[in-house]
């Protein structure tokens, strides 16, 4: 599998549910892979609280017919790049400037794929924007996320918040909006993997319940060479 991923230029990673394949964890680690053991959580629609207005941000679902769709896709990616480049949930200085520096124009083919997936209901994305910015680094789009749908199942992925806007409920609001949109679109099962137990606790307040452990394996980071 790893050889095939390298051949086609795909990220060298794979996932499995630990409870269904418990022997894989030791095998993956013995092969030199770093394995994240993430809480696997499924939404209980009856336990989901009502979505209320947020004083700090507004969340909107990206619409493929909007003139802003291409920019929306690009800025969603930029927010994710900055957020995941500063792993964890701690606040930090990286904000709007880092987001704008990370903006990368999409090719026509990539944009067409994103638009087609949105139009057919295979994917939906949300952006969180600051309502009344007072700090230029905490302005514009500060959070993003999406879900991918196959038949009656949707997985929420890529929920990201700029470090400068963390600890203000952005990820919670984005996740709630995506979960509600998936349910309203007729999805029967919504699930996600939490990056940590602290993040899982936040998702639990939205009605998600832990059902297992998602193992996510990637090549171990190579240490930077020491200066002579």
CATH number for 81: 3.40.630.30
Asked, for residue 13, whether it belongs to a domain, the answer is no
Question: How high is the pLDDT of residue 10?
Answer: 43
Which of the residue ranges 27-41, 72-86, 112-126, 159-173 would you say has the lowest mean pLDDT? 27-41
Q: Is residue 20 part of a domain?
A: no
Whether this model's pTM surpasses 0.85 = yes
Tell me, yes or no, whether 72 lies in a domain: yes
**9 lies in a domain?**
no
Summarize pLDDT for 87-117 with one digit per residue, the tens.
889 999 999 999 999 999 999 999 999 999 9
**What SS3 class is residue 158?**
strand
Q: What is the mean pLDDT of residues 11-17?
A: 74
Among the listed residues 146, 86, 137, 90, the one whose alpha carbon sits nearest the alpha carbon of residue 114: 146
Count of structural domains within the chain: 1
Q: Is residue 168 part of a domain?
A: yes
| pLDDT value of residue 12 | 58
Domain ranges, residue 107: 37-212
Q: Please give the radius of gyration of the chain, using alpha carbons only, rounded to the nearest integer.
A: 18
Q: What is the pLDDT of residue 219?
A: 83
Q: Is residue 78 in some structural domain?
A: yes
pLDDT at 65 over 70: yes
Cα→Cα distances 168→37, 56, 163, Å = 26, 8, 10
pLDDT at 52: 86
| Domain assignment of residue 221, yes or no | no
DSSP string, 161-223: E-GGG-SSSHHHHHHHHHHHHHHHTT-SEEEEE-SSHHHHHHHHTTTEEEEEEEEEEEEPPPP
CB 117 within 8 A of CB 123: yes
Q: How far is CA 152 from the centre of its chain?
A: 20
């Amino acid at each position: 599998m790893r050889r095939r991923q390298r051949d086609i230029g795909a990220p060298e990673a794979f996932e499995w549910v630990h409870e269904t394949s418990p022997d894989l964890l030791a095998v993956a680690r013995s092969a030199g892979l770093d394995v994240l053991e993430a809480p696997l959580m499924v939404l209980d629609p009856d336990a989901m609280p009502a979505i209320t207005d947020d004083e700090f941000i507004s969340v909107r679902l990206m619409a493929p017919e909007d003139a802003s769709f291409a920019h929306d896709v690009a800025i969603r990616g930029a927010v994710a790049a900055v957020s995941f480049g500063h792993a964890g949930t701690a606040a930090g200085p990286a904000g709007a400037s880092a987001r704008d520096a990370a903006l990368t124009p999409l090719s026509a083919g990539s944009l067409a794929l994103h638009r087609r997936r949105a139009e057919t209901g295979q994917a939906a994305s949300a952006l969180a924007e600051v309502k009344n910015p007072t700090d230029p680094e905490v302005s514009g789009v500060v959070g993003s996320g999406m879900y991918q749908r196959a038949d009656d199942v949707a997985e929420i992925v890529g929920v990201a918040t700029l470090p400068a806007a963390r600890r203000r409920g952005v990820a919670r609001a984005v996740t709630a909006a995506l979960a509600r949109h998936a349910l309203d679109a007729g999805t029967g099962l919504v699930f996600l993997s939490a990056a940590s137990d602290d993040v899982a606790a936040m998702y639990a307040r939205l009605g998600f319940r832990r059902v297992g452990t998602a193992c996510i394996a990637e090549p171990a980071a190579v240490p930077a060479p020491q200066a002579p």
